Structures are given as C-alpha cells and as structure tokens.
Structure 1
Amino acid sequence: MASTGFFARSELAATLYAFRREFLIVGLFSMVANVLMLAPTLYMLQVYDRVLVSRSELTLLVVSLITLFFFAVMAFAEWSRSRLLVRAGVRLDAVLSTRVFNASFEANLSQSGAPAQRAFNDLTEVRQFLTGNGIFAFFDAPWAPIYIGVLFFLHPFLGWVSIGFALVQAALAWFGHRRTIAPAEEASKAALEVNLYLQSKLRNAEVVESMGMLAGLRQRWAQRHAAYMERQGATQALSHRITAISKWVRYCQQSFALGAGALLVIDGQLTAGGMIAANVLMTRALAPIDQMVNTWRSFIGARSAFLRLEQLLQAHPERDPALSRVPPTGAVVLRDVLASAPGRAEPILKGLSLEATPGTVTVVLGPSGSGKSTLARVLMGIWPDVAGEVLLAGQPLAGWSRAELGPYLGYLPQDIELFDGTIAENIARFAEIDSDKVIAAARSAGLHDMILRFPKGYDTPMGEAGGLLSGGQRQRVGLARAIYGDPALIVLDEPNANLDDVGEAALMQAVRELKAKGRTVFLITHRPGAVAVADQLVVLRDGRVQVQGARDAVLAQLQAARPAAPSVTTPPAAPPAAVPA
C-alpha cells in the first residue's frame, strides 16, 4: 500500500496517481478547448446581429479570421490532449505490464488463476478507458456549467431549459449505473467461465477426439455458452434501451431549444442570432452528459477491471528486488511441514520432517496419493499453502528472490511442459545460452546424439520438434533443463515414468554425476531400480513419513516388516525395494 497525505492508496491507485501531472495537463488543454467552443456561438451572434445588419464585408472578414484562429487553437488543444493521453497509456503499460505479469504468474502458481487469466485484458481495458474518448467526457463535464451560464446571459428561460435537460440526462446516467453494473459483472464472469472451459478442452483435443467425447463436452459448453449469451443479451438490451432514451431526450432538447428561442424572438426578447447560438450552445452544454451516458458501459467495465487488478496486485505484492543472499548449498531441512490445499479438510502433508545434505541422493517412495508430488513442490517453494519450516542452506525458501534462487534449483515435474522456442533455449531455461552447459546437460540426459539428428540441431524450434519427440524424449529434455548449470538442489518427480531401459540408464548415470559433484538430489519414483543410487530412503504414507533413514537400514526394516511366506509353494516375494512403491 502506498500512502499520500491522509489517504492510503492501493498499489494500482498509487501508480495511476503518479500520472497526475499528465492528467492535469490534459485538464488544462480541455479547459482551452472548451472555452474556445464558445467561438462558434460568438461567431454566429456577430454574423447575424452585426454583419448582416451592417452589411460590412470587412467586419465579416475580421470576425472570420479571428474565429479561424480560435478554431486552430482549439484543434491544437484537442490534438495535444489526445497525444498526451496516448503517451500516458504507453507509459502506464510499461510501468504495470511486468508487475501484472509477475502477479498473474504467482496467482496461477498459488492455484488462484481465475482472475489472473484475464489480468492483461483488465489492464488493457483500464488503459484504453483512461486514454480513450470516454475519459474526455469527464474532463469536459465540469465546463457544462459555463455554457449554461452563457445561456442564462442570453436569457434566463434558456438557462432553466438547459438545466432541466441536464437533470434528465444525469438521471439517465444514474439509472444506467444502478441497473447495468450487476448484469454487466455477471455477464463478464460468465464469459470468463466459458473461455476457461473451452481452453481446457482444446488443450486435451487428442483425448477428446480419440474417445468420442466431443458431443458430450459440446453439450456442456453449449449450456454454459447459452447462459452467458442470456446474461449478455439482457445487459445489452438494457444498455440499448438507455441509449435510445438518451437519444430521444437529445433530439427533444435540440428541437425544444430551437422552439424556445423562436418564442423569445417572437416576443422580442432575443435576436435571431441569439436563437441559433442558444441552440448550438445548449447542445454543447449537454454533450458531455450525453457522452457519459453512452460511455457508461465502458466505465463500468473499466471499473470492474480496475478492482480485479487491484485485488490481484494486493494478493501478490512485489518482492524486494534488492534481496540478495550468498549462493546456497544443497542442504535441505524440513521441520513439521504441513501442506494444505483448497477444498481439502485435512492437509496433504502432515507434520513432515526430514533432512538431506549435499552430495546425497534421497529417494522418496510411497503409494499414489501419499503426498510425494506435493513434497516435490514444497521442496521447490512453489506450493502455496505451507506451514512449518522449509530451509535451504539454513534460510527459509520464502525469503529468497526467485529470480536469484532459480539457477540453483532444478525441477522435473510429472507433467513435462516445453515452451515455444528452440531446444537449446528450453534447456537453458530461456536465459542467456551457454553452449557448453547446454551440451553438457544434453549429454547427461542422453539427448545429444538425438538432437544432432535434427536438421537444425539445438536450434530446432520446439514447435517443429514437439511432434517428433516421444514421451520419453520430452522427459529427457525436461531432465536436461533441470540439471542445466549444475544446480545445488535437484528434485525429480517420476523422471523415469516414460523412459525405456536406455533412458533409465542415462537417468541413473546423470544422478550419479550430480551426486559426485556434491549436489543434493531428491528422486521421487515408483520404480525399484532407482533405489540402487539412493543414500537415503523416505517412505510416505497418507502424508506422513512411514520410514526414513539410510538405504540399507530402511530396506532391512521393510524386509523385517514383511509377513513370512505361508508355504514353500508360494511364489517368491518381490524384491524389497519394490514394497514401498
């Protein structure tokens, strides 16, 4: 939160407040433009009441030249304020885009990605409203009383007529706000739900097509889409009704103003020039209010977008960019860690404690649902709801700058996601590419020869290579990315799930090399073959450590806990290492 004076401002509000100088200058240009809007009125008065009476061509020329000059100044003021707002919009995007990107990423990471999905749309909507034509209505509205004052100067009756129409249009604006804000927000929410639902199905198009699920999913999408269209239609219908009423009021105002002026001319209380000028002036006085009615929907959308962005930035504050620590070793300590998730009554990890020292390999075993993948995320510091202590080199993971800590961590999740870019860029984590490190990581993962067989080698775009890679090869690319740069802590979650014997042998060799370099490795797996490289075994069950210790001691303990074979005819038991898996 930023504060100025007696008022506390949110981060987003403080950012907008920093542009107060630009908006002040826009206000000054608006003042010039609106004052000079009186020039057509004065010109008509002079032409009708002076030039036509005197029949002086010189007077007409002088009055026309002065008016032309005023028009040029007015055009310059309007052009200047538009140009200034465009530049302010570019600067606003430059200031907020990185911040919104980081907050959106953290929101998705913390499993609260619904508002983050539209964060940049919200930023665009706020920026376009603040730098578009809609904002001009708010700058022009304060000058309406000046035009009304001039109307009072021409004749009090004309001033009261303009006030009456201004009150009617203001009531329409208030009514539109009261009646459209809730339906507009519901329609916006429904649109977001439909888009998210559709995107999730498109990501799994192969599964949907292969098993004939399209018809059922299309029916569910159609129901959601129909609900969205119903809300959207109701909102648009109400908005169009308000716009139509506003147009009717505007047309009535133009005609009634002309009629009122004609009546005053008949009574000898106003000149013909004053009648025409009053009609133009009243239209100009009510134009900002009419424009506010027409842009009210945009204002409601920008207001909702502003509140969503404000909530997003408040929920995910900016991390201290100056935070810096000594490069970490791989010493890991977990003390009484509880990891929870939304919608679950019980924690996933329940008071888990363990330690790992540099140069060791810890193999984590356990049945499905025991919390192994959650433990991997906790070790990486990316699980959102964690209680207890997670220490790396004696420092809490939460106290590190992620940009600084990232190169010292390696992570291979179960679901391998490769990004748009070349193979080398993916392995190098989209940082500056060090060719020697990329090749070393690829060799360790057993990828080097395969990559060289591509026409472009390491420069092959993943968009082209992605369709040619098997699940095991994609897993090896993910492994190369995890071990790139010899990070201090490496967590591999089911790294051999899609590997053949050759791939698994390359994986075990890579783990041995990391161990020899003094790195700390956590290997989460169901396969018993990985036990051979373990220094420490951890067996999880129901979110708790069931057995933990040196490999041979844990294996002996598990073997002793096995029931004895009932007869000699019973088939031989599985190897001890397979039990926890």
Structure 2
Amino acid sequence: MRRRFFRDGERPRNDYDEPRSEVLTFLASCRRIFWGLAAFSGLSNLLMLTGSFFMLQVYDRVLPSRSVPTLLALVVLAIVLYLFQGGLDLVRNRIGVRIGRYFDERIGGRVFDALVRLPLKTRGDGDGLQPLRDLDQVRSFLSGGGPTALLDLPWMPIYLGVCFLFHFWIGVTALVGGIVLIALTILTELKTQGPAKAFSRLGVVRNALAAEGRRNAEVLQAMGMRGQAARRWQDANSKYLEAHERASDIAQGLGGVSRVFRSILQSAVLAVGAILVINQESTAGIIIAGSILTARALAPVDIAIANWKGFVSARQAGRRLDHLLKLLPVEEAPLALPAPTKSVVVENLHVAAPGSERQILGDVSFELHGGQAVGVIGPSGSGKSTLARALVGVWPRLRGRIKLDNAALEQWSAEALGKHIGYLPQDVELFDGSIAKNISRFDPQARAGDVLKAAEAAGVHDLVLSLPDGYGTEIGEGGVSLSVGQRQRIGLARALYGEPFLVVLDEPSSNLDADGELALNTAIASVRARGGVVVVIAHRPRALESVDRVMVVAEGRLQAFGPKQEILNKVLRTPVPLNVVAANSGDGRWTAR
C-alpha cells in the first residue's frame, strides 16, 4: 500500500474530491504578500490626500493671512509626503513584479509539464503553445497595474466620505459620478466578455495554422500550396482581427466615455463649489480641494476600466490554465522499483488514440523474456505503431495491462520508467543541441563512456566522428542539419542509451542504407545478448534477421505469435484472410500471397 506524507496545513484528499485550482491555491499562498501590498496601497492612497489638503490650506489659511512661513512649512511637509508616497509606489510596483515572477516560478514548470503531456491525453488540436501564452498573460497582469487598480477601488468610499465632510452637495456630486463610473465598469465587463472569448479562440486557430505551415514548409513549396495555405491563414487572421477590433472598440470606447465624464464631473464639482461660495456656504479652498479629491476618488474606477481588458484576458487565461492543470494533475512518485531484467507481459490489451474512445487495437496478449526479440508485421493501419506506443506507455489503454517483471507500467513514474525503455518512433524527432546531448537524452549527469557505448551499439560512432565537430556537432531544431537516415541512426543510439531493458523500434530501417540495416541488426543482437527485450515494427525483411519471434497484427487484432520460422511458414500457407504475409525478397515489402 502506497503511503503519502502531507505538508503542514495540507489535508488528505479522497478520490471524490474536486481537484483544487492550482492558480487559486497560488493566490491563496500569497495572501500575506497581498495584505502587505494592500497596506502599502492604503498608505499611498492616504498620502494622495496631500494635494487636496495642501490646496485647502493654501486658499483658506495662507492667502488670507499672507503668511510666508506657513506656506514654506506646508510646502516642505507636502514635499516630504510626496517623496514618501513615491517610495511607497516604487515598493508597491516592485512587489507586483515579484509576484508575477513568483507565479511563473511556481506554476511555469507545471504548465510546461502539462503542455508536453497534453498530446498524450487529448487529440492535441489547436495552438499547442497556448498554455505558455496564458502563463505570460497572467504573469503580466500580476506584474502590471491590474492588482494595484483593484486594491485602490476600496478607497473610493473613503474619498467620497471626505468629499461629504467638505460639503454635502460636493459629496452628492462625487457620489453620482462614482455610481455612473461603476455602471460603466459593469457595462465594460458585460460587453467585453463575448468579444474577448472570440478573440482568444480565434487567436488559437490563427497560431495553429501558422505552426502547421511552418511544419510543412517543404510540402507547401514543392507542390505549390503556399498560396492556399496563405489564404487559409489570412481568413483566420481576418476573423481574429475583427474580434480584436470589437473587443478594443468596446473597451476603449467605454474608457473614452469614462474619461470625458470625469472631466465633466470635475467641472461640475467646481460649479457646485462656486454656487456654495456665492451662497457663503463654503470657502474657495474647499472648491479646489473638492475638485482634486473628486478626481482622486474616481481615479481607481477609471484605472480599473483602463485595465479591464487585461483583467478579462488574465481571468480567461487563468481558467484555461486551471482546466489544463486539473486535466493533467501532478503525478505522484510511486515507490522506486528495481530495474526489470526478466520479462515483458501484455495481458488482454485494448488501446485507443489519445482523446478518443474508439478502439484501434484489441485483445492482445503475449509474453517476452529477457534475451528475446519479436518482429511485428502486418498491413498498414493494422495497429502495429499503436502497439509500440502502448508498450512504451505513451498511448492510453482502454483495458488490459503491460507489465515489466510483473510490475504494471502505471506502478512506475514516467522518469523512472524511461530509464528502462528505449524508443525509436517512426518520425524521429531530435532536439536542438549537440549530438552527444541528444544521445544522452540531455541527462545532466551523463558520462562520456555511456554516450560512446550507445553510439557504438547503434553503429553510429564512425558516422558521428565524420561530422565537423564530432559528438559536439550542433544539429539545430529537429536535427535539421542531418539527413533523415542520420537522424534515424542517432535516434537509435538515443534509444539504446543507458542499456534499457525494453527497446521498441518502430520501422527502424525505413530510411537506412545497407550499412545502416547491418548496424541495426547488430544493435538488436547486442540488446538480446545483454538480456534485454526488443520489439521491432517491420515493413522490410532485413529488420527481422536478428529476431527470434514474429507477431502478426491485422485489423487491430493479434493474429499469430510464436517462433519466427514457424510463424512465417504459417503465414505463407495462410490465404488472404490475414491480409499479411511473408517477405517478398524482390521488392522488400510484406505482400499477400
């Protein structure tokens, strides 16, 4: 039974608990910081009264008394308070920037991990980098003036209260203005929700089309499809720009209305103050101070309206991040298991593609022991690559189990399991970096001897040495500086790095020449010799030279499994129902006979 230890303040959760929002959990963990930020905002807002009271004292005390010393004392006091306010604002802004960075440091790793795992959980449609953009959006809002504007809003009633202390009608005028501006804020929220969502959704479509075009640049160029691709992107971009215009027009239009109304309101306060002075119900100082204070009282609402677009975008980004992180929660590290050395057992395996319930491969059961290698043959679309992906744990199982030494794959963490598995997919993807780093799987503790051993096992050592910088050769994004065959052979060395127990090779000879095929069979034989298990998805007969078992897969089912010669002889005698058959040495393909 697996035990889990909890940190202070963390409660145990049962399987029926709703997954917690990691974004909200982060914000809750920062509550002391936010309280501190609120305290700084409170002091700063109190000090913003300096201008109003300075004007009040100048008009009501200094000018009637003509006292220069009083004026100098007020000026010095005001300067000190302004400097103190400036220091508070500087600290407040720096706190905001650090909250944004802290958010990125706490959530960024989880977002990247979920981003990498997402294609293994869903179909992977849309813009794959949207979670990183959402992370940037939330961090930018936390680092900018958004939280400050929200923390300033509670001070609006206090400013209005001071306006009422100046005079009842000045307070009423400011209150009416505040109600109108709050109504504009609510209207901004309601009006921008739809366009903001459409803007975000169309941005995903637009970026996905751009990434698709970049990924298929050779096809677009070779077959004259660039114009069609450009038109598709322009159509999506036009809809994106229209949504952006609608969202911006609403936010900026209401923001403009807010600014105009503030100007009118400030003049209205002066007019009300003038009437009060004429009726000898107030002083000239209160007119000026009330005007300044009214503007200050309504400034948070105006700033909130100006930042509302960013607030809505950050809120939507946070919700998308929450959805992503709930879909792909933190993987608990199970108890470390000993390295597998004995067997690979598949029991009643049924497999579907990520994000789909439609079965692609079903009812597969077999067992392989250390030192054995199986070649998997069958027609295209029969489920061979699906089997390979299931064996290495990257495609979901609907039912059944895959076990290494009687331990099911789910009993291993992905990092621990990866050390015991070597995988060469059909489409080999290398990473930007040196050949040595790619072979070593970017292991920071990689030893040169292990890299050389993997390269020699894959028969790629001499090929690497022939390159300009040998193992230090930088291959660029996706291994662009290498040929397809070279990438496949480097990928094979990566699969063999660390001498994994289970090695799964999906059409490993598809881009290899005769020397490459010889090196492949030597590598398979070396894995068998050290007691490992090899699974080879084969479309070419030479890939089966070093295997001792053959598996026939057709129509998503395991049709035959056993010793190589026995299965091949059986397949040769089987009429077309299996729809597969033995190798035709003339064209190197598996053809029906």
TM-score normalized with structure 1 length = 0.94
How far has the Cα of 1:52 moved from its partner?
1.0
Is the contact between residue 490 and residue 520 of structure 1 (CA under 8 Å) also seen in structure 2? yes
Q: Letter of the 1:360 partner, please give it.
A: Q
Distance in 2 between the 1:184 and 1:577 partners?
A: 54
Answer yes or no: is 1:179 the counterpart of 2:191.
yes
Match of 1:358 in 2: 370
Distance in 1 between the 2:77 and 2:271 partners?
A: 30
Cα distance change on mapping 1:81 and 1:40 into 2, 3 Å: same
How far has the Cα of 1:264 moved from its partner?
1.1
Distance in 1 between the 2:499 and 2:19 partners?
A: 46
**Which of the residues 225, 229, 253 maps onto 1:213?**
225
Is the contact between residue 127 and residue 208 of structure 2 (CA under 8 Å) also seen in structure 1? no
Percent identity for Structure 1 against Structure 2: 39
Match of 1:11 in 2: 22
How far has the Cα of 1:499 moved from its partner?
0.7
Match of 2:51 in 1: 40
How far has the Cα of 1:365 moved from its partner?
0.6
**Which of the residues 286, 300, 303 maps onto 2:298?**
286
Other structure's SS at 2:388 match:
helix
How far has the Cα of 1:343 moved from its partner?
7.9
Cα distance change on mapping 1:386 and 1:343 into 2, 3 Å: closer
Match of 1:61 in 2: 72
Q: How does 1:147-226 map to 2 (within 5 A)?
A: 147-226=159-238
Is the contact between residue 378 and residue 386 of structure 1 (CA under 8 Å) also seen in structure 2? no
Q: Letter of the 1:538 partner, please give it.
A: M
Other structure's SS at 2:134 match:
helix
Is the contact between residue 354 and residue 395 of structure 2 (CA under 8 Å) also seen in structure 1? no
Distance in 2 between the 1:373 and 1:137 partners?
A: 54
Other structure's SS at 1:102 match:
helix
Answer yes or no: is 1:327 the counterpart of 2:339.
yes
Cα distance change on mapping 1:74 and 1:397 into 2, 3 Å: same
**Which of the residues 528, 535, 547 maps onto 1:515?**
528
**Which of the residues 79, 88, 103 maps onto 2:99?**
88
114-123 or 492-501, which deviates more: 114-123
List per-residue Cα deviations over 1:480-504 (Å, max 9, x = no partner). Answer: 1100111111000000001111110
Match of 2:562 in 1: 549
Is the contact between residue 507 and residue 536 of structure 2 (CA under 8 Å) also seen in structure 1? yes
Q: How does 1:108-123 map to 2 (within 5 A)?
A: 108-113=119-124, 114=126, 116-123=128-135
Match of 1:493 in 2: 506
Distance in 1 between the 2:498 and 2:182 partners?
A: 65
List per-residue Cα deviations over 1:284-308 (Å, max 9, x = no partner). Answer: 0000011111111111100000000
Distance in 1 between the 2:478 and 2:141 partners?
A: 42
Q: How does 1:279-428 map to 2 (within 5 A)?
A: 279-321=291-333, 323-329=335-341, 331-341=343-353, 346-428=358-440
Match of 1:21 in 2: 32
Structure 1 residues not aligned, in runs of 5+: 564-571
Match of 2:284 in 1: 272
Structure 2 residues not aligned, in runs of 5+: 1-5, 577-581
Is the contact between residue 360 and residue 520 of structure 1 (CA under 8 Å) also seen in structure 2? yes
List per-residue Cα deviations over 1:306-346 (Å, max 9, x = no partner). Answer: 00000000000001246422222362111121112368674
Is the contact between residue 115 and residue 312 of structure 1 (CA under 8 Å) also seen in structure 2? no
How far has the Cα of 1:111 moved from its partner?
3.4
Cα distance change on mapping 1:343 and 1:95 into 2, 3 Å: closer
Answer yes or no: is 1:144 the counterpart of 2:141.
no
Cα distance change on mapping 1:11 and 1:51 into 2, 3 Å: same
Other structure's SS at 2:427 match:
coil
358-367 or 389-398, which deviates more: 389-398
How far has the Cα of 1:384 moved from its partner?
3.3
List per-residue Cα deviations over 1:161-209 (Å, max 9, x = no partner). Answer: 1111111111111111111111111111101101111111111111110
199-208 or 313-322, which deviates more: 313-322
Distance in 1 between the 2:87 and 2:449 partners?
A: 59
How far has the Cα of 1:151 moved from its partner?
0.5
How far has the Cα of 1:117 moved from its partner?
2.1
522-531 or 23-32, which deviates more: 522-531
Distance in 1 between the 2:177 and 2:583 partners?
A: 92
TM-score normalized with structure 2 length = 0.92
List per-residue Cα deviations over 1:98-128 (Å, max 9, x = no partner). Answer: 1111111111232343475211111111112
Q: Letter of the 1:462 partner, please give it.
A: I
Q: Letter of the 2:570 partner, please give it.
A: Q
Distance in 2 between the 1:476 and 1:261 partners?
A: 85
Equivalences, count = 573
Distance in 2 between the 1:554 and 1:222 partners?
A: 55
How far has the Cα of 1:371 moved from its partner?
0.5
Match of 2:254 in 1: 242
Match of 2:3 in 1: none
Answer yes or no: is 1:52 the counterpart of 2:63.
yes
Answer yes or no: is 1:458 the counterpart of 2:432.
no
Over the aligned positions, Cα root-mean-square deviation in angstroms equals 2.4
Distance in 2 between the 1:274 and 1:237 partners?
A: 38
289-298 or 69-78, which deviates more: 69-78
Other structure's SS at 1:462 match:
coil
Distance in 2 between the 1:74 and 1:467 partners?
A: 56
How far has the Cα of 1:521 moved from its partner?
0.5
How far has the Cα of 1:33 moved from its partner?
0.6
Distance in 2 between the 1:408 and 1:16 partners?
A: 39
